[in-house]
């Protein structure tokens, strides 16, 4: 336990989410301290988020102390997506590992059939949100990722998905954007990291202790859960990415993940394309950038997307990310609903 924060699995039911204490062991994609790629696929390390804040309410710096809740991937004990995404009989290729003793391997085909059947792009909501626009959403997402990328990919992909689905169902004021984003991240943290965290410590770690109270954050968390009818998870692009990278064994995993993370900033990309399409295009881009190999027949079978289609989506990602320059966002006093 780190000063009020425990990374151990939960032993009792949480007040809101209940007991979801899964504890798999390994992670398929691990971050490496390597040379960073170009700005197209490395949006989060080139500079700090452009936020204007009051010095007394927000520090604007990453939390690197021992008491931070933003633990590294190496110590993460959340859900293991890669443990499920193995040996899909419908897309058996030369790159698939030999069968393991994991009983979940027998259900991978059904799992992916269900993921494909239920995946959707986000619903259009900009016309329903008079005080929220693409630029302010992009700035909020970039700011959240500035902290959340030290959590597992499942966590921050889920957080942004929760945020978008909530905005598609309930109108909010501009002043409540930050507390909504932080509440979405808190829900994702509880669900994926399966760990205990004090709300005050969570706010302190993000530099918001002076501008958002624990009560306000809990109220916003409850509102989000009630609005979504406690349906937390939907097919994530990261789940598809893990599967595709198992087949494209020569692809740069860090590069593919970075490209896919970049798509979270764009409302239009998430509106136009499904999660599986964005994941496929990210792997396609990584393969082309590294000049390792092309979009093979194995990948066509696994993803069900031909080369022409993934090339089109990859170009859309590149063009969109070149144009996107998130504006400044004022974090101070964003806690009023």
Choice among 72-81, 193-202, 321-330 with the minimum mean pLDDT: 72-81
* CA 313 remoteness from chain centre: 19
pLDDT digits (tens, 9 = 90+) for 206-258: 888 888 999 999 999 999 999 999 999 889 999 999 989 988 877 889 999 99
In this prediction, residue 105 has a pLDDT band, given cuts at 50, 70 and 90, of low
Domain span at 178 = 51-75+128-233
Q: What percent of the chain has pLDDT over 90?
A: 40
Report the number of distinct structural domains present in the chain: 2
Using the 3D structure, point to which of 179, 207, 233 is the last residue of a domain.
Answer: 233
Question: What's CA 25's distance to the chain center, in Å?
Answer: 20
Whether the CB-CB separation of 51 and 334 falls below 8 Å is answered with no
Whether residue 38 is contained in a domain is answered as no
Residues 143 and 224 in one domain: yes
Is 208 in the same domain as 153?
yes
Token look-up 């109270």 returns 213
Judge whether residue 285 has pLDDT over 70.
Answer: yes
Q: Where are the alpha helices (DSSP H) in the chain?
A: 108-118, 134-148, 153-167, 177-188, 199-205, 214-227, 237-247, 253-263, 267-272, 275-290, 297-303, 307-323
pLDDT in tens, 153-173: 999 999 999 999 999 999 999
Which of the four pLDDT bands, split at 50, 70 and 90, describes residue 325? Answer: low
Q: Domain with 144 in it: what CATH number? A: 1.10.472.10
Query: CB within 8 A of 242, min separation 6: which ones?
Result: 28, 29, 81, 82, 85
Strand, coil or helix: 154: helix
In a domain, 36, yes or no: no
Over 90: is that where the pLDDT of 145 sits? yes
Residues 186, 220: Cα–Cα separation, whole Å: 10
Query: Do 256 and 194 lie in a common domain?
Result: no
Are 156 and 145 in contact by the 8 Å Cβ rule? The answer is yes
- Whether the CB-CB separation of 189 and 155 falls below 8 Å is answered with yes
Contact 240, 281 (CB under 8 A): no
Torsion sign across C-alpha atoms 240, 313, 250, 94: positive
Q: Tell me how crowded residue 315 is: count the other CB atoms within 10 A of its CB.
A: 12
* Domain-ending residue, one of 208, 233, 258: 233
pLDDT at 292: 58
Same domain, 57 and 187: yes
> DSSP secondary structure string, 85-140?
S---GGG--TTSPPP-S-GGGGGHHHHHHHHHHH--PPPP-GGG-TT--HHHHHHH
Within-domain flag for 57:
yes
Question: Global pTM?
Answer: 0.68
């Amino acid at each position: 336990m780190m000063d009020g924060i425990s990374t151990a699995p939960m032993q009792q039911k949480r007040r809101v989410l209940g007991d979801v204490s899964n504890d798999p062991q390994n992670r398929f994609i691990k971050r490496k301290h390597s040379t960073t790629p170009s700005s197209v696929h490395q949006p989060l390390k080139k500079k700090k988020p452009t936020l204007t804040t009051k010095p007394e309410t927000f520090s604007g710096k990453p939390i690197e102390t021992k008491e931070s809740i933003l633990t590294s991937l190496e110590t993460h004990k959340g859900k293991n997506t890669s443990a499920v995404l193995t040996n899909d009989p419908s897309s058996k290729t030369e790159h698939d590992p030999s069968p393991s003793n994991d009983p979940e391997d027998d259900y991978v085909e059904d799992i992916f059939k269900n993921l494909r059947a239920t995946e959707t792009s986000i619903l259009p909501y900009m016309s329903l949100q008079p005080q929220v626009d693409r630029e302010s959403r992009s700035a909020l997402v970039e700011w959240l990722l500035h902290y959340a990328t030290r959590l597992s990919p499942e966590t921050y992909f889920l957080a942004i998905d929760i945020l978008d689905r909530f905005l598609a169902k309930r109108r909010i004021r501009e002043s409540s954007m930050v507390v909504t984003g932080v509440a979405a991240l808190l829900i994702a943290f509880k669900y994926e990291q399966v760990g205990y965290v004090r709300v005050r410590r969570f706010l302190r770690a993000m530099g918001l202790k002076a501008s958002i109270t624990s009560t306000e954050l809990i109220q916003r968390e409850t509102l989000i859960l009630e609005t979504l009818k406690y349906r937390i998870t939907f097919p994530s692009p990261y789940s598809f990415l893990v599967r595709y990278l198992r087949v494209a064994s020569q692809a740069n995993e860090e590069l593919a993940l970075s490209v896919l993370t970049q798509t979270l900033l764009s409302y239009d990309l998430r509106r136009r394309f499904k999660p599986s399409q964005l994941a496929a295009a990210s792997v396609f881009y990584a393969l082309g950038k590294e000049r390792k190999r092309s979009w093979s027949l194995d990948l066509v079978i696994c993803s069900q997307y031909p080369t022409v289609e993934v090339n089109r989506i990859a170009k859309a990602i590149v063009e969109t990310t070149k144009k996107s320059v998130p504006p400044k966002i004022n974090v101070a006093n964003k806690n009023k609903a």
